[in-house]
Amino acid sequence: MIKKLAAEYVSKLRRMDITNASSLQEAIVVLEVFITSIKNITRARDRALVTEEIEIKREFTFNVAVAFEEFALNYSKLHLIGTRSSQVIDNHIMVLGIQKAYYENAGDFYLEDQELQASINVLSANFAKSDSLVVGIVYKDLHELLDLDQPIRNEDTRHLNSRIMCVAMDPKPNKLEANIILKFRNLRVDERKKACVFWKGFNRSSEGFSGGGCHVVESESNSEETVCSCNHLTHFAVLLDYNGSSGLTEEDETILEIITYVGLSLSIIGIIWTVILYSFLTDVHQPLSQIRLSLSVALGAGKFIFLVGINATENKASCITAAAFMQYFLMASFCWMLVEGFYLYLFVVKVYNITEKMHMYHVMSWGLPIVTVGISLCIAAGKDGIESFTSAKYCWLSYTNNLIWIFAAFMAFVEVLNILILVRVIKEMTTLVQPMGEDTHIKQIRLGFKTCAVMIPMMGITWLFGLLSPLHKAFAYIFTIFNSTQGFLIFFFHCVRNSQIKERLKRRMNAIFPSYEVGNSARKSSRVNASDVGKIRAVEMQSFDA
């Protein structure tokens, strides 16, 4: 019913005669009647709206609001001429401000409602070189249609805590030269964390609102007022976050971004060296070398695509392509992490070699992700269009169609299984190894910890911290640090500290440079670290490198 009603009022607004000088007032009346109608429909319901109905009401209410704002812009092009370059309308549903401005001599656009203690400020630096039309609206009761007492999304307890304000410009700048400043009077006086958000729509965001490009100006905000700074134009509001104590601040996000880029750069370098060393210094026909080469290639490709493509949101086709390839290679890397776990388990616990079955593992690890990516693309295309495959903020899987949970569920399954395998392997190793010395138990524990530290990067267990990151920002830091540097840790533990690779590298160097000696040539290592799993029963396992 709401869909049909909204479509009817959108059609009315678009059919109105824009040349009529009174048409703007008539459009305001149309919007007012729509708001009243929706309120009456909601009031008539004798039960609470379910989540789907709430989402429908929010989405189509904004559709009508957008149609009104488009009408206001088009109206202004015809009627704001000569000395009449601005207009302000203040009635019981909105404060509407329109300004026709010239870049050379225009002042800032400023609209204020003193009663509501709300204001919009658009700096003149954002105006076009010729002329610009700016429309600012403070809606007085539009927020009442968004079910204030209902959580904005099910998994969080976030509530709308302000009226809705809108800014629109024609021509719309590709990028604002200066942020728009919006001042809101909080509907609820509360000390908890506030979030500045804008309406993105349910086809792009699971809750309709997104915080991308907006932040709270903390120095000018308090429990009664919130000042927002945003780098784009749309509908703005303030959300009150009842779980705000565990949220990330803008400073946290900046730090995590720096950690991510530094860690990924180190990982890509480490992975390149891992591929080179395993290709030339190990037997590539052996299962362990094939597993680690395949894992390194998949993980390296996924991290490289993330590094260069995660922010390519300007071109939707490129964004979708980057997200699809990223999903494929990351899921392939998880498959190889699982194969690494199986290999470790079979060789240490079952004393069984998987050489004959490597072709099966190749088919599974490179083929299953293709099927999964294909299913994800089909779900997106069939439900909300292929564009809903990615989120609005990044070139990564969207929450809209729950596509992200396909990846998350697969990752969680692999890593939980690998944790069980690692626990079983450590138990087996500490049972087999009987260290000589006064405190056997402590040495076995030490061996178990070293095995765990060495194998965790290869088995990707730290990815599970990503599922815990919403609980506390400490998990977000742990997840970012360990997963951005995963490739470098693999290189360090399984190349730099690999006794077999070091020994073969020394022989290669001696063959090329006969006089070349590395360390004490008389010193022969009879020790194995956790990366030498293939020889784990042939060599005394207690002697991990310190």
DSSP codes joined into one string, 258-312: HHHHHHHHHHHHHHHHHHHHHHHHS-TTSHHHHHHHHHHHHHHHHHHHHHHHTT-
pLDDT digits (tens, 9 = 90+) for 417-460: 988 988 888 887 777 655 555 466 666 666 666 766 777 887 87
* Whole-number CA gyration radius for the chain: 30
pLDDT tops 70 at residue 518? no
pLDDT tops 80 at residue 502? yes
Helix or strand or coil: residue 123?
coil
pLDDT digits (tens, 9 = 90+) for 30-59: 999 988 888 887 766 544 555 566 777 777
Nearest-angstrom CA–CA distance, 89 and 298 = 59
- How far, in whole angstroms, is CA 528 from its chain's centroid? 40
Main-chain phi, psi angles of 88, to 5 degrees: -130, 130
pLDDT of residue 2: 76
240-249, 361-370, 371-380, 480-489: least confident range: 240-249
Contacts of 64 (CB under 8 A, 6+ apart): 6, 9, 10, 13, 31, 34
pLDDT digits (tens, 9 = 90+) for 48-91: 555 566 777 777 888 889 899 989 988 888 888 765 678 899 98
Strands 164-170 and 194-199: unpaired
Residue pointed to by tokens 């880029």: 261
Nearest-angstrom CA–CA distance, 213 and 196 = 9
Q: DSSP readout, 342-363?
A: HHHHHHHTS----GGGHHHHHH
Report if pTM > 0.85.
Answer: no
Helix or strand or coil: residue 481?
helix
- CA-to-CA separations, 544 to 39, 166, 526, 530, in angstroms, rounded: 71, 63, 10, 7
> What is the dihedral angle through the alpha carbons of 34, 36, 42, 43, rounded to the nearest 10 degrees?
-160
**Mean pLDDT to the nearest integer, 531-538:** 40
Kind and range of the H or E run holding 239? strand 235-241
Q: CB 446: neighbour CB atoms within 10 A?
A: 16
Contacts of 294 (CB under 8 A, 6+ apart): 336, 362, 365, 366
Kind and range of the H or E run holding 163? none
Bridge partner list, 527:
540
Nearest-angstrom CA–CA distance, 2 and 190 = 33
269-283, 320-334, 436-450: least confident range: 436-450
Helix or strand or coil: residue 110?
strand
Contacts of 46 (CB under 8 A, 6+ apart): none
